[in-house]
Every structure is written in C-alpha cells, then in structure tokens.
C-alpha cells in the first residue's frame, strides 16, 4: 500500500533575490520528499514587480487561483527600487502582497526571533543581552491602519488613514498567540498604545476576556514605545508578543536586528483560505542574481510550512540541518565575509543534510567539509 501523502505548494518567488532563495527552499522540499513519505507538487505564480512587467498587475488572478487550490503558499520577496521613490506610482509591487493577504485572509503573521550563539558578534547589541533570546511575534495582518479607510484630499493638502479593529479580528489572532504561549514558556505580552488609542483599549479588553481560558499563561501588557526600548534592552524577557498590524510591522523589523542577520528569519502568515510562508528579508535588489543572498530564512520558512502541514519530523530535520551548517561556521558573505559560500551551495548542503539520516550525516561530515573546503 502506498502511504505517500501528496501536498501542493504554490510557489511565488517574486522579485529581487526572491527567485534565488525560493529555489533553495524547493531543494529542501524535494529532500523532504526523498526522506519522508510526502510528495510535493508545485504550481508557480507571478507576484510583485515581475507580475506587473509580465502581466500588468502585481497580483494576477491566476496567481491567486494557484494559491487558493494549494495546501500552502511559499513566497519569496517583493519590491523593486523602480517604484520606491515615486509616490505617484499608481501600481506598486507591494499592492500584490497586501492584496494577497486580504484575499487569502492571512490574518496572523508569525515571526520567530532567535539568536544563534555563533552569530552573536554580528548583532549591534552586546552578546550578554542577546544570549538565549527566543521569542515570537504575532502580528495582526489584515486589519488596522493598513486596511482602514484612507484618502488624500483633492487639493493634495491633507490625507488620512484610519485604524479600526473588530473584536472578532483581535480574538482569532489572540487565541493563536495564547495557544503558542502554552507550547512555549507560557508568557504572552500584548503590545499596544492603550494610553492613547481606542483600538488599543479594545485589544486589551478582548485579550483580558480570553485570559481566564488560559490560566497557565502569564499575560502582561506593554505600550509600544516601551516595547521598542525593551526589545533592545532586555530581549530575553519576551516569549510571545501579540500586537496589531502597524506596531507589528515596526517591531518585527527592530527585532530582526537582534540576530545579526535578516537572512535568518522566517515567517508564517496563517490564513482563512490558505497559509503562506516567507523569509522576512525583502527583495534586496542589489544582491539579485549574484548568488550571495542567504537562503536560510527561506529554508526556515519552508520548515514552518511543512510543520503547518503536520510534518513535524521533517520540520525538525530542516531546522537541525540549518543549525548544523551555522555551527560549522558556514554561511553567505554577510555572516562572514572571509568565507563566502554561494546561496545555491548553502541550499545544496542543507538539502543534502535533510535528505540524509542523522547517523550518515555524522559519518559524512568530513566528506561534506572537504567538499566545501574546496570552495573556499
């Protein structure tokens, strides 16, 4: 009897380094197919600047259809400098991402932040503040000021963006955050601006109402300006951080600096009709096509994707392989300019480690390092 399960992944490589790092994630998905009883099938879609060029829209209908019929979506990156400095541009690559979030109902953006011992020296912060930092941000992704009413007056002299939230929008992400806290160190921090904003007071009351259902979780509240400070002063204090769309956007970029490289941070966007997984770094256009981008964030996003599909063992194997490579001091130029491994070499190596059972990895370690040492 054939027990192999089939899963369909929609691949949206997007702009800049998106296609290069996505290709490494695909190597890892294929390695998972080799080792575990799962078969991945892919469908491809254009998104972002590349979609504007090829199809005239940042999120063509056929890309959306591909996402809707997939078990999960893998997203590379979006953005092109061509559009960045033109506030008058009517069509922008980012609209593709925002529409995708809205259409697929991707309401919870999950960004784990973890420091790696070997990379502490790359962070602008002192190592003793960072050691042991391990938290996860739950950012609301389809509401708030991003999607509220907005307009510029006809005379161009005023403009507004509205921030509004429904209790139901807060409740569904808050539940996910409480559940994650139960699986982790059981601490949940709601970050808001409840001393000023009505929407923040609604967040507090919804989260407070949910708290009795999770008595094991220690809940606390922090204003966003304080959180911006605390993130760099005492990052270790956080376990699960829950916040609204805009605050989460800002704090997650701040948090990404802690690890020393944006190239290591994955994310998941959990949705109603699909879930999407993407590295948090952007399209990094200066590096596009040079094979120097770090594919680890994309590969760790692939781990989140397979975990979401219930393939826990595969996810653990992927994370262990990335950890192994980092511990060996192997990385792309931004981690250590003295040893410059290519994006695709790192992808090959991690995929290889995923495909091989643990014992063989140990036996082959020397062979791997010999192979890599010839690259230096």
Among the listed residues 28, 40, 6, the one whose alpha carbon sits nearest the alpha carbon of residue 322: 28
CB 311 within 8 A of CB 38: yes
With a CB cutoff of 8 Å and minimum separation 6, the contacts of 148 are: 161, 162, 163, 164
The residue range among 51-59, 92-100, 114-122, 335-343 that interacts with ligand IPM, by the rule CB under 6 A, is: 92-100
The nearest distance, CB 248 to Mg ion, in angstroms, is 8
Angle between helix axes 343-355 and 18-35 (nearest 10 degrees) is 10
Which residue from 97, 255, 303, 315 is in contact with ligand IPM, where contact means CB under 6 A?
A: 97
- Give the nearer residue to ligand IPM in terms of CB position, either 199 or 283: 283
Positions in 248-287 near Mg ion (CB under 5 A):
249
CB 353 within 8 A of CB 325: yes
Binding at 97: pick from Mg ion, ligand IPM, none (beta carbon under 5-8 Å per type): ligand IPM
- Give the nearer residue to Mg ion in terms of CB position, either 21 or 351: 21
Count of residues that interact with ligand IPM, criterion CB under 6 A:
4
Binding at 94: pick from ligand IPM, Mg ion, none (beta carbon under 5-8 Å per type): ligand IPM
Report the C-alpha gap between 175 and 310 in whole angstroms.
19
Which residue from 30, 62, 71, 249 is in contact with ligand IPM, where contact means CB under 6 A?
A: 249
The residue range among 90-98, 187-195, 201-209, 229-237 that interacts with ligand IPM, by the rule CB under 6 A, is: 90-98
Using the 8-state DSSP alphabet, how is residue 187 labeled? E
Selected catalytic residue, list 71, 249, 336, 348: 249
Tell me whether strands 150-152 and 134-140 are parallel, antiparallel or unpaired.
unpaired
Catalytic: 225? yes
Under the criterion CB under 5 A, does residue 94 sit at the interface with Mg ion?
A: no
Catalytic: 253? yes
Report the C-alpha gap between 113 and 120 in whole angstroms.
13
- Give the nearer residue to ligand IPM in terms of CB position, either 48 or 235: 48
Report the C-alpha gap between 81 and 359 in whole angstroms.
46
Selected catalytic residue, list 193, 214, 291, 341: 193
φ, ψ (nearest 5 deg) of residue 276: -130, 145
Which residue from 30, 62, 94, 103 is in contact with ligand IPM, where contact means CB under 6 A?
A: 94
- Give the nearer residue to ligand IPM in terms of CB position, either 38 or 199: 199
Strands (DSSP E) along the chain, which ranges? 5-14, 38-44, 72-77, 106-114, 134-140, 150-152, 159-161, 187-192, 218-223, 240-243, 266-271, 276-279
Q: Name the closest residue to ligand IPM (Cβ).
A: 94
- Give the nearer residue to Mg ion in terms of CB position, either 62 or 249: 249
Burial code of 211-226, b = ≥16 C-beta within 10 A, e = fewer? eeebeebebebbbbee
Footprint of ligand IPM on this chain (CB under 6 A)? 94, 97-98, 249
Q: Which residues are part of the catalytic machinery?
A: 146, 193, 225, 249, 253
């Amino acid at each position: 009897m054939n027990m192999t399960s089939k899963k369909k992944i929609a691949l949206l490589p997007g702009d800049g380094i998106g296609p290069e790092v996505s290709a490494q994630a695909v190597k890892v998905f294929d390695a998972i197919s080799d080792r575990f009883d799962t078969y991945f099938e892919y469908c491809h879609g254009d998104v972002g600047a590349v979609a504007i060029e090829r199809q005239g829209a940042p999120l063509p209908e056929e890309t959306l259809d591909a996402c809707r019929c997939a078990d999960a979506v893998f997203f590379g990156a979006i953005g092109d400098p061509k559009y960045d400095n033109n506030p008058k541009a009517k069509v922008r690559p980012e609209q593709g991402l925002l529409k995708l979030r809205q259409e697929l109902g991707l309401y919870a953006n999950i960004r784990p932040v973890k420091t790696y011992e070997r990379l502490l020296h790359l962070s602008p912060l002192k190592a003793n503040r960072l050691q042991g930092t391990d938290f996860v941000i739950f950012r609301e992704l389809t509401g708030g000021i991003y999607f509220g009413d907005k307009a510029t007056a006809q005379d161009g002299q005023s403009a507004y963006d509205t921030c509004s939230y429904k209790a139901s929008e807060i409740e569904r992400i808050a539940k996910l955050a409480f559940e994650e806290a139960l699986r982790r160190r059981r601490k949940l921090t709601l970050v808001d601006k409840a001393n000023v904003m009505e929407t923040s007071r609604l967040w507090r009351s919804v989260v407070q109402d949910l708290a009795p259902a999770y008595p094991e979780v220690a809940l606390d509240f922090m204003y966003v300006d304080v959180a911006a400070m605390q993130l760099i002063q005492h990052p270790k204090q956080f376990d699960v951080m829950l916040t609204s769309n805009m605050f989460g956007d800002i704090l997650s970029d701040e948090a990404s600096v802690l690890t020393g490289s944006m190239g290591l941070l994955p994310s998941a966007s959990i949705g109603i009709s699909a879930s999407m997984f993407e590295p948090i770094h952007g399209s990094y256009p200066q590096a596009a096509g040079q094979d120097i981008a770090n594919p680890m964030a994309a590969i760790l996003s692939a781990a989140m994707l397979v975990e979401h599909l219930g393939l826990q063992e595969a996810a653990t194997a992927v994370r262990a392989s990335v950890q192994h490579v980092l511990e060996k001091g192997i990385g792309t130029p931004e981690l250590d300019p003295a040893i410059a491994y290519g994006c695709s070499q790192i992808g090959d190596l991690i995929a290889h480690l995923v495909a091989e059972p643990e014992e063989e990895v140990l036996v082959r370690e020397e062979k791997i390092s010999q192979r890599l040492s010839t690259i230096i």
